[in-house]
Copies of this chain bind each other. A is one copy, B any other.
Amino acid sequence: MDVQKRFELVKRNTAEIVTEEELKDVLKKKKPPVAYLGTAITGRPHIGYFAWVLKMADLMNAGFKVKILLADLHGALDNCPWDILDKRFKYYKKIIPLMFKALDVDLSKLEFVKGSDYELSKDYCFDILKMSSLASVRDCKKAASQVVKNVEGEGAKLSGLIYPIMQTLDEEYLGVDMQVGATDQRKIFMFARENHPKMNRKPRIGLMVPMIPGLVGKKMSSSDAGSKIDLLDSPEVVEKKVKNAECVAGNPDNGLMAFLKYVIMTLKLDDKQNFIIERDEKYGGNLEYKTYGEVEKDFISKKLHPLDLKNAVAKEINDLLSLIQKNKKELEKLSREAY
């Protein structure tokens, strides 16, 4: 793949890249370029995670060496009780690789890293203190504000302000050229870019994937069960949640359509498969789509009814979760201990 093709693959479905010029430069010069995504060990992973799992798979296909940071300490800095941290880690450690496997990613090419395995080293801790003496309270607070649960209130804990400093250091200690996250990470990415040079280090590229809205409400939240589909949800529960999802005829601005766009239709495109909506002959028969754009067009014109769309999306989600369902017994045990 030439550099331009690799660049396009990296860029597709992203919300923002800071900066595209740096990305092009890294694609040209670094062999291989290295990227990571960190997921804090807090809430239950849900299907929204597939957006970044798919993006990391894109990066691998574009020649990146990819690392996934299972950020246990960050989980604790953001309110996960210390005594269940390792149980949550075990759950993430089992289920996140299965998400990659569900997308046919070769796991042997992927590196999973546990945060506490290197974030308590002498050098790293020295750097926490050093960067804390160079970064203002105000900037740390601003950086954390969209990621850490409580950074403004009376009871806001100091750990929330250390959070962006450690995320900055992770870029250095994982030896990456680029960090990936959803758009809520933007302020931390910018904080990192501002603070690396104070330690005589180079700023890293920040690549952001869109936030997938919740099925009900704005955000697919780990803490609101109604708003998201949990990875362990049974096919019946998935069908029920999708049926109850907000999806007004003619208006594509909802979580279901976003998931269709960023995950399902992207996978279909890569697999050269059509998205099929089964319909009774009396309602016009099956519909077939190659791209998300085509689906959206029919949905806006109301040629495609929400109920038919929902049935098809639920089926696709259940296909995506089938590998996890096969491992459900073990996962449910880990889940019970972790949550």
Q: Which residues of chain A have a CB within 8 Å of any CB of chain B?
A: 73, 76-77, 79, 82, 120-122, 124-126, 128-130, 132-138, 140-141, 151, 154-162, 165
Contact A157 B135 (CB under 8 A): yes
Residues of chain B with a CB closer than 8 A to A124's CB: 125
Contact B122 A135 (CB under 8 A): no
Tell me which of B76, B122, B126, B137 contacts A156 (CB under 8 A): B137
How far apart are A77's CB and chain B's nearest CB, in angstroms? 6
Which chain B residue shows the least CB distance to A123? B120
Tell me which of B129, B141, B156, B158 contacts A73 (CB under 8 A): B129
Contact A136 B154 (CB under 8 A): yes
How far apart are A143's CB and chain B's nearest CB, in angstroms? 11
Contact A82 B130 (CB under 8 A): yes
A133 vs B151: C-alpha distance when bound (angstroms): 12
A142 vs B283: C-alpha distance when bound (angstroms): 69
The 6 sampled A-B contact pairs (Cβ below 8 Å) are: A77-B133, A82-B130, A125-B125, A134-B157, A136-B155, A137-B161
Residues of chain B with a CB closer than 8 A to A154's CB: 136, 138
User: Chain A contact residues: over half helix, strand or loop, or mixed?
Assistant: helix
- Known pairs A82-B130, A132-B157, A132-B158 / 13 extra A-B pairs, C-beta < 8 Å: A76-B130, A77-B133, A120-B125, A128-B128, A129-B162, A133-B159, A134-B157, A136-B154, A136-B155, A137-B137, A137-B158, A158-B161, A161-B161
Tell me which of B76, B77, B156, B165 contacts A158 (CB under 8 A): B165
Contact A132 B159 (CB under 8 A): yes
Contact A129 B159 (CB under 8 A): yes
Tell me which of B122, B137, B156, B162 contacts A136 (CB under 8 A): B156
A288 vs B120: C-alpha distance when bound (angstroms): 61
Tell me which of B77, B79, B138 contacts A132 (CB under 8 A): B77
Contact A156 B133 (CB under 8 A): no
Tell me which of B137, B141, B151, B158 contacts A157 (CB under 8 A): B137
How far apart are A163's CB and chain B's nearest CB, in angstroms? 10
How far apart are A123's CB and chain B's nearest CB, in angstroms? 8
A126 vs B73: C-alpha distance when bound (angstroms): 9
**A-B pairs, 7 with minimum CB distance:** A133-B159, A125-B125, A132-B159, A132-B158, A120-B122, A137-B156, A140-B158
A158 vs B157: C-alpha distance when bound (angstroms): 13
Which chain B residue shows the least CB distance to A139? B158
Q: Which of A124, A130, A133, A158 has the most CB of B within 10 A?
A: A158
Contact A136 B120 (CB under 8 A): no
Residues of chain B with a CB closer than 8 A to A141's CB: 137
Residues of chain B with a CB closer than 8 A to A73's CB: 129
A122 vs B125: C-alpha distance when bound (angstroms): 8
Residues of chain B with a CB closer than 8 A to A137's CB: 137, 141, 151, 156-158, 160-161
Q: With contacts A129-B76, A129-B77, A130-B82 known, is A135 near B120, CB below 8 A?
A: no
